[in-house]
Chains A and B, each alone.
Chain A
Amino acid sequence: MGNGILIRKVLARDRLAVGRLISMVENHDPEAFPILAKLFPKTGRALRVGITGFPGSGKSTIINQIAKSLTQQKKRVGIVLMDPSSPFSGGALLGDRIRMRDIQLNPNVFIRSMATRGKMGGLNLASRYASDVLDAAGYDFILLETVGVGQLEIDIATFSDVSVVVMTPDSGDEVQAMKAGLMEIADIFVVNKMDRDKEQIYFSRIKKGLEWHSEARGRAPASVIPMAALFGEGVGVLTKSLIDFLKMKRSGKLNGGRGHIRAEEDIKSCIEEVFLDRFLARPGIEKAIKNFVSQVKARKRSPYEVADLVIKMGLKKT
């Protein structure tokens, strides 16, 4: 498929094309960025929602319910489900689609599973670019699900419009353990599996903890929604909240302050991504690195030295 046709098909929400382009982006295909550049003017309309939380908190069930609810209100939903790649084999088991029973054949939903592919520490850009593709294709909401509450989640929260953090009644103590960064960025907290806390004892405790935290930082408290997603309870509240956020985004009223910082970060991370690929692809660079490997392994040279040498070498060859 030629690039022109691919772009046209993506804009027409052709599933094969969208899936293909996301793969190109994941695989660092050199054609991918030029295509994304062409699609960029069509992006900006979708609300990007980052959904994170501890394993077992019910994120997938919540996404299934929210997506169902949003499509019933004539909205289109793109979903990106992230799972960690094995640090040993590089492979991954992507099993979150199992929970999406109600929406897996819905014509207004697109679901894609992505492995972190080793980029646990730094920004995982593939998911961000996948969001761009879905945005350009015309999906109104893009739900990004990640596992756990670590650096990856903070990064995703950074480039999302809305950040939702999911907890369960028995995770009250972990509120303290949560990375401070996440607490700063989260817009909505969901306490799921409330069927286990019918008296709302734990819920109140969590809510108080969050309110105190926000107060201590001089911020308005984020909203806290009680939910029992498996039974559909509380889903309506979250759905409405997201629709309100979408309206705000489309009328330009969202993320005024963060926008500037975001745009700069966007540029820098694209540079980082493209630069590294291009640099390593230059003639002689991979070979040069390989030549130094045994010396570094034998501790005859430091990797810092080698990096310096290789970079100098690479920048010279213009």
Chain B
Amino acid sequence: MSRKKTQEKPSLKEVHSLSGISLKPFYDSNDLRSWNPARDLSEPGKFPFTRGLYPEGYLKKPWTMRQFAGFGTAKETNQRFHFLLESGQTGLSTAFDLPTLMGYDSDHERSEGEVGKCGVAIDSLEDVEELYSGIRLDQISTSMTINGPAAIMFAFYVACAEKQGCRIRDLHGTLQNDILKEYIAQRTWIFPPGPSLRIIVDLIKFTTKHMPDFNPVSVSGYHIREAGATAIQELAFTLMDGFTYVEECRKAGLEVDDFASRISFFFNAHLDFLEEIAKYRAARRIWARHMKHVYKAKNPRSWWLRFHAQTAGVSLTEQQPENNIIRTAIEALSAVFGGCQSLHTNSLDETIALPSKLAAHIALRTQQVIANETGVTNVVDPLGGSYYLEWLTNKMEEEAEIYFKKIRDLGGVVSAIEAGFYQKEISDAAERYQREVEEKKRIVVGVNQFQMEKEIFKPPILEITHETELTQIRKLKALRKRRNHRKAVQTLSVLGKAARGKANLIPYLIDCAKAYVTLGEIADCLRSEFGEYIPPSIV
């Protein structure tokens, strides 16, 4: 074998993982001296679950293919739901538009121009009924990505299920309902932290009692990552939020084993393939250790970290969008190697518009090819034991623990938010990344290298027209005329009173939902009781 004379000798430059961890060219047993396989690796299905929650992994139960969808009116989204289910999707995930996420009705002044653009417009129970028309809610796992007004949407969902004839005990799915990460990253909040946490605890109490298969919270790192955080920060900040919810529930008098098994998680699946896998494994191990040793949970299910993953939106490019198919596929693969319970794969056109039918179809097929053709699901945690992976898993756990201490020293998550800690960490990381790209230290294909003057592929664009807004407003006005006005006013007034007191708000919200009180009306009622959140000044 001869080497070409023109071949350049590769220079040994500084190599870092995406989150900045300095890397060596290779790893071996020397890097695992303090690693104890019995204690740190164990077996799939055994504490601390580094290798996964189930001994048979995906052989027993494949991950749920759950594509996030929602746009326009409830009717249009319902059509997309049916299309995805017919294409082989195994769980629903609902995307709501900005007015809905911020607690405004479609005819509110601030909703102008925003209705149906980023997700489906939901103003009342009537819209939810249309949204899930033809879909039995006790038959399919349903996820709802909403936070500020999460409890309101939950009330609509429960009321809708009851109207369908379901028993609420049989409902299974997830409500994102993670307000802490809103203050940290996604910024769709309504009320200040105190009342928001109260509502979350109310909801956890409700589902713990009435809906044992429903996840009342999906502690999320996805958005924190998208805002600019590194994988280590995503890991640390998410778990810290999880610990905070556990502490809030215990403060409210709940026993940890009553609710902990239903706290679920939501992580980003980004491009540094092995770092992401290490992240998921570290997450499971950290959560298990803290739940068992710090919070003294006795039920093994309380030690389980179950998570949904979504491929990284922020890694997609507007230039040469066809390349996004490849990025998504690799990211999805890392989530599968990481043992996710549920997965959403992005569509190639997400930097331009909401997913077109073609793009949504390709995204779903990506998961199906991985599941059925690659053989990666034949063995659980197939990369376990790799020197690099185990070293990286250890490293990420170490770094996360450093962050836990930093945040605790600041007085906990809420105090750290007020002090601008998260803002600074995330902005700094985002700025660093941006600089690396602009200085070409980090290559993004099609953007700062391999650019093209003229695009080859022009993806079809999903358009949301102004018609959507007009249709929705018309519908809303008709609803307000049709409904029993007295009942609506009465349930709202009773809700306000309950908000002033200490009662669990969920049953009152369900009553409002059934009386066809709108989302905006309920949110306004709670706004007047709880006030609105004002973020700290920029750091």
A interface residues, Cβ below 8 angstroms from B:
56, 60-61, 93, 95-96, 98-99, 101
16 additional contacts, CB 8 Å, given A95-B538, A98-B536, A98-B537?
Answer: A56-B418, A56-B419, A56-B420, A60-B537, A61-B534, A93-B538, A95-B537, A96-B537, A98-B534, A98-B535, A98-B538, A99-B534, A99-B536, A99-B537, A101-B532, A101-B534
Q: How far is the CA of A137 from the CA of B418 in the complex (A)?
A: 36
Q: How far is the CA of A93 from the CA of B427 in the complex (A)?
A: 14
Q: How far is the CA of A14 from the CA of B250 in the complex (A)?
A: 56
Nearest CB of B to A306, in Å: 39
Interface centre among B532, B536, B537 (most CB of A within 10 A): B537
Nearest CB of B to A62, in Å: 13
A and B contact pairs by CB, cutoff 8 A, 5 listed: A56-B419, A60-B537, A96-B537, A98-B538, A99-B537
Q: How far is the CA of A60 from the CA of B418 in the complex (A)?
A: 13
Q: Which residues of A contact B419 (CB under 8 A)?
A: 56
- For A56, the closest partner residue in chain B by CB is B419
Q: How far is the CA of A58 from the CA of B511 in the complex (A)?
A: 40
Provide the main secondary structure of the chain A interface.
Answer: helix
Number of A-B contacts (CB under 8 A): 19
Q: Which residues of A contact B532 (CB under 8 A)?
A: 101
Q: Which residues of B contact A101 (CB under 8 A)?
A: 532, 534
Residues 513 to 539 of chain B near chain A (Cβ within 8 Å): 532, 534-538
Q: How far is the CA of A11 from the CA of B538 in the complex (A)?
A: 34
Nearest CB of B to A196, in Å: 9
As a 0/1 sequence over residues 414 to 451 of chain B, the CB contacts with chain A under 8 angstroms (1 = contact) are 00001110000000000000000000000000000000
Q: Which residues of B contact A99 (CB under 8 A)?
A: 534, 536-537
Q: How far is the CA of A96 from the CA of B532 in the complex (A)?
A: 18
As a 0/1 sequence over residues 390 to 433 of chain B, the CB contacts with chain A under 8 angstroms (1 = contact) are 00000000000000000000000000001110000000000000
Q: How far is the CA of A96 from the CA of B536 in the complex (A)?
A: 9
Q: How far is the CA of A101 from the CA of B538 in the complex (A)?
A: 14
Q: Which 10 A-B pairs have the closest CB atoms?
A: A95-B538, A95-B537, A98-B537, A101-B534, A96-B537, A99-B537, A60-B537, A56-B419, A99-B534, A93-B538
Nearest CB of B to A86, in Å: 14
- For B538, the closest partner residue in chain A by CB is A95
Q: Which residues of A contact B534 (CB under 8 A)?
A: 61, 98-99, 101
Q: How far is the CA of A77 from the CA of B512 in the complex (A)?
A: 42
Nearest CB of B to A85, in Å: 15
Q: Which residues of B contact A93 (CB under 8 A)?
A: 538
Nearest CB of B to A100, in Å: 9
Q: Which residues of B contact A95 (CB under 8 A)?
A: 537-538
As a 0/1 sequence over residues 444 to 466 of chain B, the CB contacts with chain A under 8 angstroms (1 = contact) are 00000000000000000000000
Q: How far is the CA of A205 from the CA of B103 in the complex (A)?
A: 44
Nearest CB of B to A256, in Å: 37
Q: How far is the CA of A13 from the CA of B532 in the complex (A)?
A: 31
Q: How far is the CA of A239 from the CA of B535 in the complex (A)?
A: 24
Q: Which residues of A contact B418 (CB under 8 A)?
A: 56
Nearest CB of B to A174, in Å: 16
Interface centre among B418, B419, B535, B536 (most CB of A within 10 A): B536
Q: How far is the CA of A197 from the CA of B175 in the complex (A)?
A: 36
Q: Which residues of B contact A61 (CB under 8 A)?
A: 534
Nearest CB of A to B343, in Å: 37
- For A59, the closest partner residue in chain B by CB is B537
Q: Which residues of A contact B538 (CB under 8 A)?
A: 93, 95, 98
As a 0/1 sequence over residues 294 to 327 of chain B, the CB contacts with chain A under 8 angstroms (1 = contact) are 0000000000000000000000000000000000
Q: Which residues of B contact A98 (CB under 8 A)?
A: 534-538
- For A97, the closest partner residue in chain B by CB is B537
- For B533, the closest partner residue in chain A by CB is A101
Q: Which residues of A contact B420 (CB under 8 A)?
A: 56
- For B420, the closest partner residue in chain A by CB is A56
